[in-house]
Structure formats: C-alpha cells, structure tokens
Amino acid sequence: MAPTGYVHLWMPGHVLALPNGYVPEHRLVAYEAGLLVDLSDDVHHKNGTKDDNRLENLEVRTHGDHTREHDLVGGANRRKTHCPAGHPYDEANTKRVPSRPNSRYCRACHREETRRRRLRARLAATTSKRPGA
Ligand SMILES: [Zn+2]
Ligand SMILES: [Zn+2]
C-alpha cells in the first residue's frame, strides 16, 4: 500500500493524519510515547528499516537535520571518487553549481559533451548547406 516502505494506518481525523487520512505508524508510535511533540519534526528509523516501528528504533529529528542525514547516508553517489566515465572527482575536475549544492559535475565529461554537441551541430550545418547532395 505504501510505496515508500513506511507503514500507514487508516486514521482519518487523527492529529497526525496525512491529507489522505493515513497516519504513518512510526510517527504515531513516537507521538504516543511523548517523543514527537513538535509535529513539524520528523521521526527517523535508527536502523534504516522503515517498517521497524519499535520505539527504540525511532528518533525525533528536525526536518532539516533529518533530510541532511538522509542525503549523507543515501547519497552514495556523492561519495564516489570517480564519475561514471572514470574521471576522478578531484578538486580540479569537479564542478559545482551553487544552486544545487548536493550535486557535482565532471568537468572532463562536460567538456567532452560540449565538444560532441558542437561536432553534431557542425555536421548538421554542413549537411543542410548541401541540399542537393
Ligand atoms: Zn530517517
Ligand atoms: Zn567524467
């Protein structure tokens, strides 16, 4: 039922209910135990198993902390040392965009991509200049 892996309970009208009437069980457990007081906080599964809703597996985090933590844990890509084409993600070869602080780009691949695009554009231009060919 829950593609996210979380357990949901049908409890429309509950203070923790989502707009669809379901309450995430982990939030309910934390709430009833008095851990979850500020409802804007998130409830985190310490062992990473989203349907393991035993109280000792739950921990209340602020939404910001929680999101950051999952970025670090789940973002295996960010810890890779090489791009998919095998170029090193070192200081000189890594491009970052301020608007997307969690992403990084391989300069070598970017250069290669730009070169190919120019080549394609040139080929296309050449072909169109010879309509009779
Ligand atoms: Zn979590
Ligand atoms: Zn690369």
User: Cα(44) to centroid of ligand 1, in Å?
Assistant: 4
Which residues, by Cβ under 5 Å, contact ligand 2, an ion?
83, 85, 87, 106, 108-109
Averaged over successive runs of 10 residues, the pLDDT of the chain (133 residues) comes to: 77 96 97 96 92 96 87 58 82 87 87 93 79 58
Distance 87 CA to ligand 1 centre (A): 32
Say if 104 falls within a structural domain.
Answer: yes
3 in any annotated domain = no
Domain interval for residue 102: 8-129
Give a yes or no: residue 38 inside a domain: yes
Q: Does a structural domain hold residue 1?
A: no
Amino acid 69: pLDDT: 82
Q: What region does 26 belong to: left with phi over 0, alpha with psi -120 to 50, or beta? A: alpha
Is residue 2 included in any domain, yes or no?
A: no
Distance 71 CA to ligand 1 centre (A): 10
Domain tally, the chain: 1
CB 105 within 8 A of CB 96: yes
Distance CA 125, CA 133 (A): 13
45 DSSP β-pair partners: 58
**Is this model's pTM higher than 0.75 or not?**
no
Residue 90 lies in a domain: yes
CA atoms of 116 and 59, how far apart (whole Å): 49
Q: From CA 120, how far away is CA 112, in angstroms rounded?
A: 12
CA distances from 61 to 46, 69, 118, 133 (A): 11, 10, 48, 67
**For residue 12, is it within any domain?**
yes
Q: What is the pLDDT of residue 2?
A: 41
CA atoms within 13 A on the CB side of 54: 7
